[in-house]
Chain A
Amino acid sequence: MDLIYLAISATFVNNILLAQYLGNCPFLGVSKKLGTAVGMAAAILFVTILASVFTWSVFTYILKPYKLEFLQTLTFILIIASLVQLVEIILKKKSRALYNALGVYLALITTNCAVMGVALLIAKNELSFIAMLVFSSASAIGYGLALILFAGIRERLVLSAVPQSMQGTAIALVTAGIMALAFMGFQGMAS
């Protein structure tokens, strides 16, 4: 029951993009077309879960027993950066189709704070292994959901008459604000 609660909370109520403000640079960058948004969402899901498993293991079995928590920032970013590189190399070799679909987005993910943010939140809340898996996948799904919905809205936005000064990023941010307002409606489900 707790796990279901955790999943709903991470996907909708505390949506990583709209309520925790993580990963906004790619959110505005790749949400101009629905296709790229779907690709990015898939890549994020893949990398977030993988990175969470690795950072959780290192944090629980190495950093914590030896009281090295202050090295958290340094180790996490190194793990994520090398993991992304590794995944890119393996995909290139083993699965050409998947690489063609995700390749471009993988490189961008290193500097996506959503991946790092999820890893830090897991370490901060000291989640168990199962809870960590649920939390990371639910967060990534929530990110993907918001990204794809937003891309859909932005495709329509191109066709509408927007005041000249509001064009581009400005109107995108206001739209994201309205979407965040809509997501606040989920707050009654779990807190």
Chain B
Amino acid sequence: MGQKLLSTLTAGLWKRIPPFRLVLGLCPALAVTMSAENGLGMGIATAFVLTLSNGAVSALRNIIPSKVRIASYIVIIATLVSIVEILMKAYFFPLAEQLGIYIPLIVVNCIVLGRAEGFASKNPPLISMIDGLSVGAGYALSLTLIGSVREIFGAGSWFGMPVFGESFEPMTFLVSAPGAFVTIGALLALQNLYSRWRGEKFIQG
């Protein structure tokens, strides 16, 4: 049992790290990663929703009739997202303003529904919450990484602190819309390269 919990906990950090291994939840990964801080904020918000929704779905899995399960999951997720939205507006107002409509859009983030349907509906609550936490942490990690790459090279700073000297000319391309696609594409290719070098099974198709 302990072994299983541990392997679930670490799976989200590499084996099924979104959005690279599980190609889900691309929209926020593209949209809010202008800076590392935004990426981290979005990642934590998603991780919070994912952990609690996995727990709730799993606790109710024997009560919800299978015909209306998707609709029920959506109601659970939407409730949690509303809570996050209100909390963020109360305590992290500037960040909430920057993330804008992408906070309510966590509802339609396929990772949350994907984990609810793919994992929480078949497993007991504790392990489901651990799965949500691990996949959520992996997502937060990826978003921070993407945000860092874009912020360091696109704006010359990291979490708002300047990293290069005065003479550095930032590549503004990376912080604008097209840069997001190219950054994620390049990181995905690097991830594939590394997996192939380690001789892991090639998942990207």
Contacts and interface: CB of A to CB of B under 8 A. Distances in A.
A189 to B, nearest CB: 16
Contacts of B113: 111
A169 B173 CA distance: 21
Interface in B16-60: 23-27, 30-31
A21 B33 CA distance: 11
B75 interface: yes
Interface residues of A, number: 47
B5 interface: no
B192 interface: yes
Contact of B193 (A21, A73, A111, A165): A165
B165 interface: no
Given A24-B27, A25-B26, A168-B204, A177 B179 contact: yes
Contacts, number: 129
Interface string B102-113: 001101111001
B141 interface: no
Interface string A12-41: 000000111111110010000000000000
A34 B205 CA distance: 19
Interface residues of B, number: 45
A112 B108 contact: yes
Q: Which secondary structure dominates where chain B touches chain A?
A: helix
A8 B109 CA distance: 28
Interface of B: 23-27, 30-31, 70-71, 74-75, 78-79, 81-82, 85-86, 100-101, 104-105, 107-110, 113, 173, 176-182, 184-186, 188-190, 192-193, 196, 204-205
Interface of A: 18-25, 28, 70-74, 76-78, 81-82, 110-113, 116-117, 120-121, 124, 163-174, 176-181, 184
15 contacts: A19-B177, A23-B27, A70-B85, A74-B79, A76-B104, A113-B27, A113-B109, A116-B108, A165-B196, A166-B192, A171-B189, A173-B182, A173-B185, A180-B177, A180-B178
